[in-house]
A and B are shown apart, each in its own frame.
Chain A
Amino acid sequence: MHHPLLSVEDLSVSFISDKKSLKTVDGVTFKVDREDFFAIVGESGSGKTLTALSIMKLLPPNAASSGRIVFKGEDIFKKSNEELRQMRGRDISMVFQEPMTSLNPVFTVGFQIAEVLLNHLDITKKEAMDRTVELLKSVKIPSPELRIKDYPHQMSGGMRQRVMIAMAIACNPSLIIADEPTTALDVTIQAQILELLGGLKEKNRMSLFLITHDLGIVAEWARRVEVMYAGRIVEKASVNDIFLNTGHPYTRGLLESLPKRKGEKLIPVPGQVPRLNELPAGCKFAPRCRYVIPACWEKEPELIPVSDDHFSRCIRAMEI
């Protein structure tokens, strides 16, 4: 039987504060295949980053998670700390939004990349340094033998993100989770970084799990997409279906709020993203939805199939 590389089943994450529990991720299910390009789209607070951190088991201590995450046939929640440490950086690695806060300011970038290699592979320091130079070359940093001696502050934002990517691919992982990897960068640098990640994904035959709020990036790069709202997956489909046969009012709202050519009025999603402790009983999007009917307020809809491999959490998915 065909096993996906990663499968996340019914993942929920709650935070406990003042004896109250707040569910920030609720029943998220998805899978990532080998050599897949999978994306989760959502706005701030939708729970997309917490979903990613759950996979690495890097949630903050006051967060409680439930569900099942299976990577290469093994349940991540059942792994010991030592097993997790082995897995992180070797089998799955992560690239974050802000490279400056992800790099240690008091060590050279060369040292920080070599550290990953020395931790996971049985090689000498000399070999690790040589390999580091190779890695910097593969992320297209000019004169890598000199740049390994740089500290993070001596590099530009784009360069630092390249260093992060070099670290992420150091041990040839089968999955890279990239959480808003280009949000802090300018568009011309963003184009460089995405081109680089896409190329490395093909070359090293990795899977990429991209988290973003930018529908443009999704349209150009991803194969399959899930849209998150208030901790839930509201729509899942191939990238073509998301854009051409949109099946959820929120996804439609996101697409329609993007600036169009001059003269075309934008159709914003009204209201605000709700606070997690003030979510309505039925459909969580109902208060902002243009297609709302009384039934929406009664019961939270399930993910229903719209077509093959296309699901939407909307009782009117077929009509919109």
Chain B
Amino acid sequence: MPELLKLQNVKKYFPVNGKNFLKAVDDVSFAVHEAEVFGLVGESGCGKSTLGKLILRLIEPSGGKIVFDGLDVLNARGQELSKIRRGLQIIFQDPLASLNPRMRILETIGEALVVNNIVSRREVKDRVVNLLEKVGLDTDSLYKYSHEFSGGQRQRICIARALAVNPKMIVADEPLSALDVSIQAQIINLLEDLQKDSGLAFVFISHNLLAIEHFSNNVAVMYLGKIVEMSGTGELFKEPMHPYTEALLSAVPKPEVGEKGKRIILEGDVPSPVHIPPGCPFHPRCHKRFEPCDTIVPVYKEAKRNRWVSCHLW
């Protein structure tokens, strides 16, 4: 499959108190191919949502390069930028906050069609009905407002709106977090069907490791603004290389009784991204730290075939 999205050394530094910087995203590079699901996992504050917004250029990066479908995202203007955004859509965590409470669903989804000249005004309704069917909603939803729906239905509306412009890729930023378990499975299945049937690619941002493992083809683990490990999902979950990934995976309570795996309890909290520890940023909490870790920053490298990691152990 050809490459659809490529990030090279993307950075986002927020100035703090004039002289310090909060390095929310620091030197992140990866590529996503057509119809691929790229999982981005990490704890709160690791920069994964900032990265999601950078991909669409909803916020301006401090440096780096982003190429989507052959187009330079960071230097695009006008027509070219709207072309990129037709190909690249985003859905957010809280669907209620993403929908205008004063618009009916027909207007909410129809607006995307009209603004982008996808169909003529006369055809808008048919196309919206079509989109609603695609995400599993009834046509009587057309004239309802967002508050009349449940959380899961609202997320379906957001997905329908993203699909309206026939995108090639959707950045899904924690699309499950606001939903109950029984509803989460409905949304995962919907996203999975869209990926399989329409060949849609996803950047799937989540802290839910079970969902990441289920849905992604490749996965990157972020810690303090950097990718610390990246590989195929199967390999990463089977045999994590970075101690942080290892601890993260072991921390997830498994919904099964019987044999308990060994749990690695990390010490302390995630440090402030304004005062990133010297050497390896993870060393103060690492259960495998040794001599060079507190002074020398590990190089992010391909330690094994298609397995990228930044750790002195490899």
Contact = CB atoms under 8 A, between A and B. Distances in A.
Contacts of B185: 256-259, 266-269
Given A187-B207, A266-B214, A257 B251 contact: no
A189 B207 CA distance: 13
B269 A43 contact: no
B233 A255 contact: no
B133 to A, nearest CB: 16
Given A266-B185, A272-B183, A188 B210 contact: no
Interface in B214-264: 214-215, 233-234, 247-248, 250-257, 260, 263
Contacts of A156: 269
B111 interface: no
Contact of A188 (B208, B214, B251): B251
Contacts of A240: 257
Interface string A285-314: 000000000000000000000000000000
Contacts of A43: 180-182
A269 B250 CA distance: 28
Contacts of A261: 213-214
B44 to A, nearest CB: 6
Contacts of B215: 259
A244 B150 CA distance: 31
A19 interface: no
A265 B190 CA distance: 11
B188 A259 contact: yes
A284 interface: no
Given A191-B251, A272-B150, A272-B183, A259 B210 contact: yes
A213 B253 contact: no
B269 A219 contact: no
Interface in A166-207: 186-192, 194-195
B211 interface: yes
Contacts of B183: 268-269, 272
Contacts, number: 120
Given A214-B253, A216-B252, A216-B254, A259 B211 contact: yes
B251 A220 contact: no
A158 interface: yes
A295 B271 CA distance: 58
Contacts of A269: 182-183, 185-186
Nearest to A268: B185
B274 interface: no
Contacts of A264: 214
B269 A262 contact: no
Contact of B213 (A44, A255, A259, A266): A259
Contacts of B211: 259
B234 A262 contact: yes
A176 B310 CA distance: 42
Interface in B143-189: 150, 152-153, 180-186, 188-189
Given A243-B257, A255-B255, A262 B213 contact: yes
A219 B214 contact: no
B266 interface: yes
Nearest to A272: B150
A5 interface: no
A261 B256 CA distance: 14
A186 B181 contact: no
Contacts of A20: none
A159 interface: yes
Contacts of B234: 262
Contacts of B186: 257, 268-270
A216 B182 contact: no
Contacts of B182: 43, 253-254, 257, 268-269, 273
Contacts of A244: 257
A254 B184 CA distance: 10
A257 B150 contact: no
A219 B254 contact: yes
B313 interface: no
Given A186-B207, A214-B253, 20 more contacts: A43-B182, A186-B44, A187-B207, A187-B248, A188-B251, A188-B266, A191-B263, A195-B263, A219-B257, A220-B260, A221-B253, A243-B255, A259-B184, A259-B188, A259-B211, A259-B213, A265-B192, A269-B183, A272-B152, A273-B182
Interface of A: 43-44, 142, 156, 158-159, 186-192, 194-195, 213-221, 239-240, 243-244, 253-262, 264-270, 272-273
**Closest 9 interchain pairs by CB?**
A216-B253, A257-B185, A268-B185, A259-B214, A269-B182, A186-B43, A191-B251, A43-B180, A259-B210
19 contacts: A43-B181, A186-B207, A186-B270, A187-B252, A192-B266, A195-B263, A214-B253, A216-B252, A219-B256, A221-B253, A239-B257, A253-B182, A257-B182, A259-B211, A260-B214, A262-B213, A262-B233, A266-B188, A273-B180
